[in-house]
Amino acid sequence: MYLVGFYSPKAKSGVTELSLSIYHWLKMNTALSAAFISYGTLEKEGLSEEVIHEFSKLSLPEQKRIVKNMKKEYDIIIYDASSQLSEGVLKLLPIVDRLFVVGEENTDFAVKLHQIIQFNKIFDKSVKSFIQHLKGNKTFIIRENKEGRVIGFNYTKKETNDIGQMVYRDYVTRYLEEKFIEKNEKIYRKIKLIPKETLFRGLYELGIDFEKALLFHEYVLLREALGQDYYEALENLFPLIINSSFEEILEKFQNEIKFIAKLKLS
């Protein structure tokens, strides 16, 4: 379900040792089913169905296929991405749900790497629907260490418990996010089935406040009048129903009308 990556562009930075220690910590201290993937070769760790190494020797489609199958089988996967920076690494890092950059000296690098991955995610052609975007909206977060000085970690053995608990908390948070997303998907599917002529009534019957439902209906019709496809407008505006108050939707609606009026006058 959940893939956590550990990475550093610096050789011998302790990424493998750190990621393995977190993998073992999770197996010893939680009831989660855990697996481990190593980009390189593991010299000491015994191999099993839940431990994969020499990941870099596989093609990108094969890597993604393996990860997809493992996320169905295990609660959490630790990915040791320790390797020199390469196009292959940059292509694979976006599949992780959380990425830790190891080493304080790489603060600037960590920030830039985060920006690049976020940029790729935003403009990824496969991310087209609201639901898909919501699922990827908070991925690739590079956490700060407990002192809050920099992004990343200077690994020492005493930090294993702290980082292990942080990874576990991230997993729990992601689990709750997935449940929230599942509920959103169910609501959205129901909304799509409502005839557009009676959208506000259908929203009200689903439990949305009448005024909010009526305003949302008007907003969708405005977008459609401007040439947007009805279902595209519905999908784009759907987050407002979930996340915004009536007042917030009204403000956005009025601002959009003002903007359109200015364009017509110019």
Tens place of pLDDT for every residue, the chain, 266 residues?
A: 788 888 877 766 678 888 888 999 999 999 999 999 888 777 776 667 788 888 878 887 888 788 888 888 999 999 887 766 666 666 666 667 777 777 655 567 767 777 776 666 666 554 444 444 444 443 333 333 444 333 444 555 567 888 888 889 888 888 887 788 788 888 999 999 999 999 999 999 999 999 999 999 999 999 999 999 999 999 889 988 888 899 999 999 999 998 888 887 76
115, 118, 136, 194, 240 from 93: Cα distances, Å: 12, 11, 13, 40, 31
Q: Do 15 and 36 belong together in one domain?
A: yes
Q: What number of other Cβ atoms are within 10 A of residue 80's Cβ?
A: 25
The reported pLDDT for the residue numbered 137 is 42
CA distances from 11 to 81, 103, 128 (A): 12, 11, 37
Q: Interhelix angle for 246-265 vs 230-243, to 10°? A: 140
90 lies in the same domain as 13: yes
- What is the per-residue pLDDT for 143? 39
Q: Are 136 and 127 in contact (CB under 8 A)?
A: yes
Q: Which amino acid is at 6?
A: F
Q: Is the domain of 101 the same as that of 173?
A: yes
Question: 182, 206, 221 — which closes off a domain?
Answer: 182
Regarding pTM above 0.75, the answer is no
Q: Are residues 42 and 64 in the same domain?
A: yes
Q: How many helices (H) and strands (E) does the chain have?
A: 10, 5
Residue 189 lies in a domain: no
Indicate if 142 and 200 belong to the same structural domain: no
Examine the domain organization and report whether 203 and 163 are in the same domain: no
Do residues 217 and 200 touch, judged by C-beta distance below 8 A?
Answer: yes
Domain ranges, residue 250: 194-265
Please indicate, yes or no, if residue 10 is contained in any of the structural domains.
yes
Are 152 and 221 part of one and the same domain?
A: no
The rounded Cα 171 to chain-centroid distance in angstroms is 12
- Report the distance separating Cα 231 and Cα 124, nearest Å: 21
Q: Is residue 138 part of a domain?
A: yes
Q: Which of 182, 214, 249 is the last residue of a domain?
A: 182
- Asked whether residue 98 falls in the same domain as residue 204, the answer is no
Do 50 and 138 fall into the same domain? yes
- Structure-derived torsion over alpha carbons of residues 29, 34, 37, 38, reported in degrees to the nearest 10: 10
Q: Are residues 36 and 102 in the same domain?
A: yes
Asked if 6 and 79 touch (Cβ cutoff 8 Å), the reply is yes
Q: Give the total number of structural domains in the chain.
A: 2
H or E segment to which residue 112 belongs: helix 107-122
Give the pLDDT of residue 142. Answer: 36
Both 47 and 15 in a single domain? yes
Are residues 96 and 57 located together in one domain of the fold? yes
The pLDDT of residue 134 = 45
188 lies in a domain?
no
Instruction: Please report the pLDDT score of residue 2 as a whole number.
Output: 85
Identify whether 73 is part of a domain. Answer: yes
- Which contacts (CB < 8 Å, 24+ apart) does range 39-42 have? 39/79, 39/80, 39/81, 39/82, 39/83, 39/89, 39/92, 40/16, 40/80, 40/82, 40/83, 42/16
133, 236 Cβ separation under 8 angstroms: no
